[in-house]
Structure 1
């Protein structure tokens, strides 16, 4: 009898352990700069994936990388989307996160001025008011553009506004320039005649999915299954570009021509954080120290190494690779 009870308890303990491999609720963000997240939300693919496991999906809106990473830190989101350099900055600032998936590589940034502005170059921004959201890729893009022009952030007046607020401020001429991200920058050019004074595809970060270290350690199965569903969305996006444009236009509340223009600059071909992506991050990250956004003794190579975790996506891709 004692043996049977022991076996029964072992079975129950195993079942309980398996149940704890998934949370009761999974909070995932959706963002206008992450088209794949809009696809997942539209088709309820995450809900369907976890439907039989009694896991509730809660969607959290991220207007920018800064809010996405704050949501992770506050445990109000489990999975969030951000620009890769924003992830490095957040990690270096003490946010215990892992970046595990590339949702896009894109040219999604530019510095714009109003249609009648006399400003034609980054150097002419000296002493001017420039709108950008701290902690986001547009903000870091501005810092790198200024440094390339031999300037620093103190040479301009950075007005901390959200992407939408930045566009509105430039429309009302409350600022002289705005560092815009998609879809707002593209729509502003077509609808308001804003002029691009600076573009640099090399200064654009990748789009990363991030997860808190605690969540990844406690619920690795959940993270793996999020990757599985993201892979479904990525493959769907590659094979249904017209439908993707329609979904993006609807969810991001922009006209179809703008959605088409935005998505033409997005690359969904490879979800793995590769050596080249890491090299680009190492090239970009010194601006965080140079502009005193993190401690001067921060070991950025170590931060990046501890940030990146490709194990989830590589496990998901392994069966595909093995079957070829």
Structure 2
């Protein structure tokens, strides 16, 4: 029996889909489009070694890689049908789905501490309360932006209490270091580079406010090509396990791709990236439920939006269960 037929049968059993539905999908896919991102080191490993290309080539499917500069870009590409699979922060994905982006998340690519609030080395700002009235750079629609809002809330400040400067992550770093903004909601590896290269200081860290790294799939693509989504997840698993076993080599790949020093890449990968739990579960649902109220309080979603339903529709805890049941570690 051909490998594809075996895989499709396995997928049907794992997902509860009938085999005829998969057959009707005809696997007429000619090109699979997915993103890579410096905030997702395993995507860089996967892209570097070409494991997905090697697997899909047998079925005449080409792979197209698109760089995502932030969660907002990945989610925009998904919504515009420019890519089929994209990586973003969990809370950013909730915001996108709540506002009509038809995505599901069947895989967790990391649990990172990839964002914090950053100031220049000589800044007089020491605490969150000192940010009142100050210019703070952050990329809207991303975990750093939502982290900023949640952090402000801990000292009873709101978005209106600061001057938000909307910049993409790399531009936010430059603006901070040049003194054009007072603070920046950073994102690794840019944040780590600013720390190590420019002496920037992290004035507020909270790993619980960093939402997980979600691999999102357009719902229509998931419905038409579930077997291929499983193959992408299998490739990500290969990259995850390789990274865990070869962290220093993975850091070198990150360093080369993101054009940061090896020291910066090691800081991001060894100290701020947890790759131990790739299966979406109640843990991720609960984390998003705890984070979601900020979306309502800051009027980022329509009044009356049922965010618990949005989260339940987003986090697919069943699709990859059979595939990843014993994968963690």
TM over 0.5, yes or no?
Answer: yes
In the TM superposition, residue 271 of structure 1 has moved relative to its aligned partner by: 0.5
| Structure 1 residue matching 2:290: 3-state secondary structure | helix
The 5-angstrom pairing of residues 55-66 of structure 1 reads 55-66=61-72
CA shift digits 1:46-92 (9 cap, x unpaired): 10010111111000100000000000011111000000000000000
**Aligned equivalent of 2:301:** 294
- The ranges of structure 1 where at least 4 consecutive aligned residues each deviate by more than 3 angstroms after the TM superposition are 16-19
Task: Verify the 8 A CA contact 2:25 2:225 in the aligned structure 1.
Answer: no
Which of 282, 292, 295 does residue 289 from structure 2 map onto?
A: 282
The more displaced of 305-314 and 60-69 is 305-314
Q: Aligned equivalents of 2:264 and 2:278: distance in 1?
A: 25
CA RMSD of aligned residues (A): 1.4
Which of 38, 41, 50 does residue 44 from structure 1 map onto?
A: 50
**Aligned equivalent of 1:241:** 247
Q: Aligned equivalents of 1:40 and 1:222: distance in 2?
A: 16
Q: Aligned equivalents of 1:317 and 1:125: distance in 2?
A: 43
Q: TM-score normalised to the size of structure 2? A: 0.90
Q: Aligned equivalents of 1:39 and 1:310: distance in 2?
A: 25
Task: Verify the 8 A CA contact 2:25 2:224 in the aligned structure 1.
Answer: no
| Structure 2 residue matching 1:58: 3-state secondary structure | strand
Task: Verify the 8 A CA contact 2:279 2:324 in the aligned structure 1.
Answer: no
Which of 217, 220, 229 does residue 223 from structure 1 map onto?
A: 229
Q: Aligned equivalents of 2:135 and 2:50: distance in 1?
A: 42
Which of 235, 238, 261 does residue 232 from structure 1 map onto?
A: 238
**Aligned equivalent of 1:8:** none
Q: Aligned equivalents of 2:173 and 2:311: distance in 1?
A: 32
In the TM superposition, residue 314 of structure 1 has moved relative to its aligned partner by: 1.1
| Structure 2 residue matching 1:120: 3-state secondary structure | coil
Which of 111, 131, 141 does residue 135 from structure 1 map onto?
A: 141
Q: Aligned equivalents of 1:271 and 1:280: distance in 2?
A: 15
Task: Verify the 8 A CA contact 2:103 2:314 in the aligned structure 1.
Answer: yes
Q: Aligned equivalents of 1:210 and 1:223: distance in 2?
A: 10
Which of 251, 254, 258 does residue 260 from structure 2 map onto?
A: 254
| Structure 1 residue matching 2:29: 3-state secondary structure | coil
**Unpaired segments ≥5 residues, structure 2:** 1-19
Q: Aligned equivalents of 2:30 and 2:127: distance in 1?
A: 52
In the TM superposition, residue 283 of structure 1 has moved relative to its aligned partner by: 0.5
Q: How many residues are matched?
A: 306
Q: Aligned equivalents of 1:305 and 1:32: distance in 2?
A: 28
Q: Aligned equivalents of 2:28 and 2:146: distance in 1?
A: 36
| Structure 2 residue matching 1:181: 3-state secondary structure | coil
| Structure 2 residue matching 1:164: 3-state secondary structure | helix
Which of 99, 104, 124 does residue 118 from structure 1 map onto?
A: 124
In the TM superposition, residue 199 of structure 1 has moved relative to its aligned partner by: 0.7
